[in-house]
Amino acid sequence: MADEKTFEQKPRAIKPMRGGRGMPVPKGMIKKGTLGRLLKTAFKYYPWQIVIVIVCILISSSGSLISSLFMNTLIDTIIPKGIAQGFEAAAWDLTALILLMGGMYGIVVLATFFYNRLMATITQGLLYRLRTEMFAKMQTLPIKYFDTHAHGEIMSTYTNDTDATRQLIGQSIPSLLSNVLTLVISICVMLTFSFWLSLVVAVSTVLMFFVVKKIGGRSAKYMIAQQTSLAKEEGFVEEMIKGQKVVKVFTHEDEAKEKFDEYNEKLFSDSKKAHIFGNVLGPIIGNIGNFNYVFLTIFGGLFMLTGWTNYGFNNVFVGGGLVTVGVIVPFLGMSRNFSMIINQISQQVSMIAMGLAGASRVFTLMDETPETDDGYVTLVNAKEVDGILTETEERTGVWAWKHYHKADDTTTYTRLRGDIVMDMVDFGYVPEKQVLTDVTLYAKPGQKIAFVGATGAGKTTITNLINRFYDIADGKIRYDGINVNKIKKADLRRSLGIVLQDVNLFTGTVMENIRYGRLDATDEECIEAARLANADDFIRRLPNGYETMLTGNGANLSQGQRQLLSIARAAVADAPAMILDEATSSIDTRTEALVTDGMDKLMKGRSVFVIAHRLSTVRNSDAIMVLEKGRIIERGTHEQLIEQKGTYYQLYTGAFELE
């Protein structure tokens, strides 16, 4: 099993202040293929809507040229006709032109309205699906992922990065497409009007794009850096909110502010640079456009007065000139519009880069390797008839492992008893540092096995391996004689009730929090579990009893009350094996008696693994394992270990402390 040594980092509380890794794309790089993937996803869910949007954008983009065509026809056709034949002769042509222009503008307005409305549906629908896929993927990720990523930065993916993606989909891409189409149409029309004037525009256009590349690229770079800095700052703020009591207890408010100032200063620096480059880009492009306007006026006048032959596309001459007034006037308008379009495109560069960086982080989360599960042995309800276990649909209180044997195409049922064996287990969170070495232990059904030792000795690691939050590097773990690698992880964990030192309560009623242990449990079963855990008395004294709402991780309850609810939750799950991880280490002695009594009732008839710092809670264990630096150095009952007068004896008598 050496190939399973793929661990990267020992679980710890990631602190953004120390450079927590957070989501990848750490240097603000955009993941290759992000835009294509985003567009492919959009086309997957909204194919015909996107086609309609593109058509509407094409119509809308043509609207900016209506006035230029109108001016050209008015100056070169209608006005000369009115001068030569009288106003009455040109009145009908003018009326028809106005009606035509009004109708075209009406179509443009409808197309613009329609595509913006469709884009709102596409954008929000796509974000809905991305968030759904992200959350669904997050549920498949291993515990290792959350141990090695700052929670605040993960949250930033759901907030800042999805918002940047929203702007990219809903605003930047449609705007860019509209501007590019308008640009292409403008170039075609300008070439049709005058090849020579188009050359003047081409020179300024090259200069504009050079400026966009240099300055816009810098703006995009810092926009991406701003997104990364914002995620890190939010990660730090989230950590400080959770640890505010600790901050105040140790009077580290000033240090916290200083550290926040460092993150805020980095965010300020990146944001400032991004917006400096972004803000100067527009005026520079605008001024290049102004110079272009002046040059067009000068060259237009010269071309109108010259008698050169026109080698371009325009064949209408007045007085032998290269261009007419009817060409110059609309051309000046088109050139002004041309400069505005390039300016708008330049402003989109940084927003598109930021949106792509956000989408990269979203897709990075979605592409994380899910928790692998090659197990095929499942946990089923069973009943025993004439000494033979058979599978049943109803809940009988009897569980069995359903084991399909491919070799002979048979299925066997093994009663779930809670017999757990670890045989010569090695494990390390990272290959270069081994945490457990040659750990061998067994827990017979109904036995209580306790682990004691200093912090970092490997106690919690053992329980993490039993429920396969992490996979071992070498050795075997067997559950009722079955290698745990063969058991589906969901079924394995369903067979293990867990009471942790850090209780997590969810927003909802007390009843709903207890029922979290088994979602199909009835109210009566939840109340019975609460009685078993000694929680019923304090619950009934709450304002609304079992219907009392809990928020903020049960902040309106004491630590002991929260722990009792945790025991009730484990009780309603009714698992045959239990893991109790320092469940009484943070409560007072009086409450500990209640919690201990509740746990004793919960442990009755079950295989139990107990991790405790208070050695008084493990005296009645069937076996006590003393760990030191990842090895079991002593094992036996309380009395046997006291007689040995080794490490456990020294711990128990206070010769030295666990910590």
Residue 382 in 3-state DSSP? strand
Which amino acid type is present at position 179? N
Q: What per-residue confidence (pLDDT) applies to 592?
A: 64
Strands 448-453 and 474-479, by their bridges, are unpaired
Lowest-confidence pick of 159-163, 224-228, 424-428, 441-445: 224-228
* Tokens encoding 88: 């009455």
Give the integer Cα–Cα distance in Å for 310 and 530: 95
CA 84 to chain centroid, in Å, comes to 71
Between helices 47-62 and 34-45, what is the axis angle to 10°? 110
pLDDT for the residue numbered 483:
92
Output the pLDDT for position 194: 74
Q: Give start and end residues of each alpha helix (H) in 2-150.
A: 34-45, 47-62, 66-73, 79-85, 87-140, 143-147
pLDDT above 60: residue 525: yes
Burial tier of 505 (Cβ tally within 10 Å: 0-12, 13-18, 19+): buried
Asked if residue 346 lies in contact with residue 223, where contact means CB atoms within 8 angstroms, the answer is no
Average pLDDT over residues 177-181: 83
For the stretch 479-518, pLDDT in tens is 988 999 999 998 898 888 888 777 888 888 999 999 988 8
What is d(CA 255, CA 253) in angstroms, rounded to the nearest whole number?
A: 6
3-state secondary structure of 497: strand
Q: Where are the domains of the chain?
A: 32-366, 378-414, 420-653
pLDDT at 309 over 60: no
Torsion angle of the four alpha carbons 148, 150, 154, 155, in this order, in degrees rounded to the nearest 10: 150
SS3 call for 633: strand
**Three-point CA angle 77, 79, 85, nearest 5°:** 95
Identify the pLDDT of residue 72: 65
> Percentage of the chain surpassing pLDDT 70?
80
Q: Which CATH architecture has domain 32-366?
A: Up-down Bundle (1.20)
Predicted pLDDT of residue 657: 46
Question: Which residues on adjacent β-strands are paired with residue 378?
Answer: 402
Q: What integer pLDDT is reported at residue 510 of this predicted model?
A: 92
- CA triple 491-492-496, angle to 5 deg: 110
Tell me: pLDDT of 30 over 80. no
The CATH number that domain 420-653 falls under is: 3.40.50.300
SS3 content of the chain, % helix, strand, coil (to 5): 60, 15, 25
Q: What is the reported pLDDT for 595?
A: 64
Predicted confidence (pLDDT) per residue in 59-107, tens digit: 887 776 666 667 666 766 666 666 666 667 677 777 777 888 788 888 8
If you average pLDDT over residues 177-194, what whole number do you get?
79
Asked if the model's pLDDT at residue 315 lies above 60, the reply is no
Write down the pTM of the prediction.
0.68
42/461 Cα distance (integer angstroms): 43
Which has the closest alpha carbon to 448: 577, 641, 565, 616? 577
Residues near 184 by beta carbon (within 8 Å), at least 6 away in sequence: none
Neighbour tally for 166: CB within 10 Å: 18
- For 390-448, the pLDDT digits (tens) are 888 887 778 889 998 888 888 899 888 888 888 999 998 887 788 898 988 888 887 88
